[in-house]
Amino acid sequence: MNNPFDPSHIQEEKAEREARRLRLRSNLLIALFCAALLGFAAVLYQTQIVNGDSYLTNSDERDLQREGVDSVRGEILDRYGRVLVSNEVSYNVELDWDAMGADRLAILTQLLDICREEGVSWSETLPISKTAPWTYTTDTPLYFVSVTEEGEEDAIPTSLGRLVKECGWAKDVTKAQLTAGGLLSTMCQTFGVIEKVTPPKAPSKELVGMVTAAGQALGLADEGGSITQADRDLAGVLYELYLRRYEVNNNPYIFARGVGITFITKVKERGLNGVRVEVSTSRKYSTSCAAHVLGYTGAIPAESSEYYKELGYPMNATVGRDGVELAFESYLHGSSGTRLIEKDQNDNIISQEWQTLPEPGSNVVLTLDISLQSTVEDILAQYAARQEEPGGMAAAVVDMSGGVLSLASYPTYDLSTFWENYAELAGDTENRPLYNRATQGLYAPGSTFKMCTAVAALSEGVITTREKVECTGTYTYYPPPYQPHCWNLWGHGNDNVTKAITDSCNIFFYDVGRRTGIAQLQGYAAKFGLGEYTGIEINEYKGWMAGPEASKHFGQEWYEGDIMNASIGQGTSLFTPLQLANYVATLVNGGNHYQCHLLKELKSSDYSQVTQVCEPALVDTIDIDPEHLAAVKQGMYDLSKTWSMARYFDALPVEVGCKTGTAETSSKAASTNAVFVCFAPYDDPQVALCLVAEGGDAGGSLAEIAAGILAQYFSTGSSLNAVPAENTLLR
């Protein structure tokens, strides 16, 4: 009999229990392994047998694309480091023709419905009104006329004109007589928006005198009357897609910018093929001022696509289109990146890999003082509001080295809503808010030119500072009937050059201008930068200095007596306000003519270092005798102390020198423009200013504006807002 307490027996039972546990675990592991094996086999069967064809097709249709990625644009700041333009993250909607496939119309219809529900505006450039009755929104919808350097006219098709030709709606756009309604009907038929009308094989008697078969074929018969608002909206979007299909425009179609999360959710829920939501950055404006200077950004223009392509830009890049954004594009843009993207047949991104990372652009610091700029724009707007018939206005403020402190044009616009209001802004041909009058407005300088005449005559020894010319009110050097008058018909008596500038005596400058000669006047004007490019980085016009060449350009004869008009800033002399401001700066700094510039310096994208500093560029030097300069400046100073000027300037903390001008114009809206130039402080000039008011009275009417601008500049407001220079990263 076995002893249950026998140690050997206890060991046997323990070993038997361990063996049973081991067998149980082994069986469980085998069962789990078999289950996993069966599951794996089932997945393989499902993948290879059941869905094999589908996966094979999907694999074959995967697309590997190399995509350019735009870099983040640099910021734009004023001279004191205040941010004017920066960036913010936004979501843009892009449309892809091929990815939409045969369901294109249905997809676009749903997309537009979502836009209406969410109040999202979309982008399209079809130059036909967006509401009935259908009319063209531009005077040249199919082509515009360009004049070559040889003076020959050349008809250039617009984007719509090129599409009209590509689609066969007209063989020659320069001869096409397509009404907006008829063309819209034809487009809607071609796009499949409405049912295509089949013209009769031959015109019946009932149609004689009404329409022709060709007219019906083009949809001219109903003038677009059958087109609904929804049809017009759909046609506008399809127009953009067709431009890209026919390679009239090679840029990606950005349907909408800055859409919200609700809009994105609705688009995703409906699974609209070919409608992509891309993360992007858009410009954020911290100021509503300086629109003409800062400029705007947009898609790459079709005519510049090859240029930007050679620079390595992706075709969906945002580039500067005007102003500083365009002028400093190479600094602001940085370097674009590239990535490889793998997509399936439904245009879904499967994987992506960076080849080159984009590098952000540099930050551009301007010479502008945005506080001064804001003051100037406000003052111009207030002055215009007081006028019965306000015209355009312009102001330019520069320092002695050509740095532009303020550059204002009125009326102006808001950059933050530029693209939304573009059609309205571009269509305002009366006020022309997009026109930068400060650098592109050409105005006769009037009496503000008399300092140039004085310097030329003094420097060439024609007169001395003490020589006097008698003014009786009429200049009698030439026999009647050509005997021009002074503005003061009673005469100024005997004036030397200083008194003649203060009195603005025409007779004095008629005489010394005639004796100096037009060639010398032209030479000194050019040295002062009048009728010459200032060198500013944004778009500007050159203008004209009166003389035989200018008269020929304007289709006029040049006569000997015309030099007298030229001597007092009339005739064919046309300068920009910026040229006039820099001319005064050149005069009072002793004759050093500097190139105008907006760039102060460049800073790295993280603001850690200054990468480039703009040094003033000396264009020319006028050797003005100190005695001559003192005599001319004294005349400008004495003018500021006359009763009509002193009431504005005496309250300033600095002394001022100034000159008024009243310039004749051929404008139908007004007979004269008011021009005013000044500088301050008198003893140690820092700034020069020019103001122009279209349709204004005498230039003296602008003295109040000039005093307000100088008061702002010489106050502590601007400098106190500067970014601290110690222990900070300077903006």
Note whether 143 and 155 are within 8 A (CB). yes
Q: Is 193 exposed, middle or buried (0-12, 13-18, 19+ CB in 10 A)?
A: buried
Q: Which residues contact 294 (CB under 8 A, 6 or more apart)?
A: 76, 84, 85, 285, 323, 324, 325, 415
Please state the pTM of the whole predicted model. Answer: 0.78
Mean pLDDT of 601-605: 96
pLDDT attached to residue 599: 97
**pLDDT over 60 (residue 730):** no
User: Is the pLDDT higher at 215 or at 272?
Assistant: 272
Return d(Cα 622, Cα 448) in angstroms, integer. 18
Confidence of residue 147 (pLDDT cuts 50, 70, 90): low
pLDDT attached to residue 19: 77
Query: CA nearest 97: which of 108, 109, 88?
Result: 108
pLDDT attached to residue 347: 61
Task: Name residue 282's beta-bridge partners.
Answer: 88
Confidence of residue 28 (pLDDT cuts 50, 70, 90): confident
Query: Which of the 8 DSSP states describes residue 724?
Result: P
pLDDT in tens, 294-353: 999 988 887 888 899 888 888 778 899 999 999 999 999 988 888 787 766 666 667 777
Q: What is the DSSP string of 184-240?
A: HHHHHHHHTSSPPPPPPSS--GGGTTT--HHHHHTTTTTTTTT--HHHHHHHHHHHH
Confidence of residue 641 (pLDDT cuts 50, 70, 90): very high
> Within 13 A of 114's CA, how many CA atoms are on the CB side?
24
User: Is the pLDDT higher at 699 or at 185?
Assistant: 185
β-strands 592-594, 618-621 pairing: antiparallel
> 3-class DSSP state for residue 353?
strand
How confident is the prediction for the chain on average, in pLDDT? 86
pLDDT attached to residue 731: 41
Return d(Cα 457, Cα 462) in angstroms, integer. 5
**What phi-psi label fits residue 553: left (phi over 0), alpha (psi between -120 and 50 degrees) or beta?**
alpha
Q: Is 311 exposed, middle or buried (0-12, 13-18, 19+ CB in 10 A)?
A: middle
**pLDDT over 80 (residue 671):** no
Return d(Cα 619, Cα 607) in angstroms, integer. 32
pLDDT in tens, 550-596: 999 999 999 999 999 999 999 999 999 999 999 999 999 999 999 99
Confidence of residue 502 (pLDDT cuts 50, 70, 90): very high
Mean pLDDT of 219-242: 81
pLDDT attached to residue 517: 96
Q: Of 104-108, 205-209, 299-303, 463-467, which gets the smallest average pLDDT?
A: 205-209
pLDDT attached to residue 616: 93
pLDDT attached to residue 699: 66
pLDDT attached to residue 669: 44
Q: Of 224-238, 330-344, 468-482, 555-569, which gets the smallest average pLDDT?
A: 330-344
β-strands 83-95, 253-256 pairing: antiparallel
pLDDT attached to residue 697: 73
Confidence of residue 717 (pLDDT cuts 50, 70, 90): very low
pLDDT attached to residue 101: 87
Q: Which two tokens stand for residue 172?
A: 């020659």
Helix, strand, coil abundance in the chain, percent, nearest 5: 40, 20, 40
Query: Which of the 8 DSSP states describes residue 614?
Result: P
Q: Which two tokens stand for residue 651?
A: 């309250």
- Is the bond into 577 cis (omega within 30 degrees of 0)? no
Q: Which two tokens stand for residue 225?
A: 């009357």
Note whether 308 and 329 are within 8 A (CB). no
Q: In what order do the strands lie in the sheet with 337-343?
A: 63-69, 337-343, 349-356
Return d(Cα 336, Cα 330) in angstroms, integer. 12
Q: Of 397-401, 490-494, 640-644, 660-664, which gets the smallest average pLDDT?
A: 660-664
> Within 13 A of 590's CA, how many CA atoms are on the CB side?
5
pLDDT attached to residue 172: 87
Note whether 134 and 227 are within 8 A (CB). yes
Task: Tell me the backbone φ, ψ of residue 335, rounded to 5 degrees.
Answer: -120, 130
Burial 229-258 (b: 16+ CB within 10 A, else e): eebbbbbbbbbbbbbbeeebbebbbbbbbe
Q: Of 55-59, 263-267, 369-373, which gets the smallest average pLDDT?
A: 55-59
Q: Of 37-41, 211-215, 321-325, 567-571, which gets the smallest average pLDDT?
A: 211-215
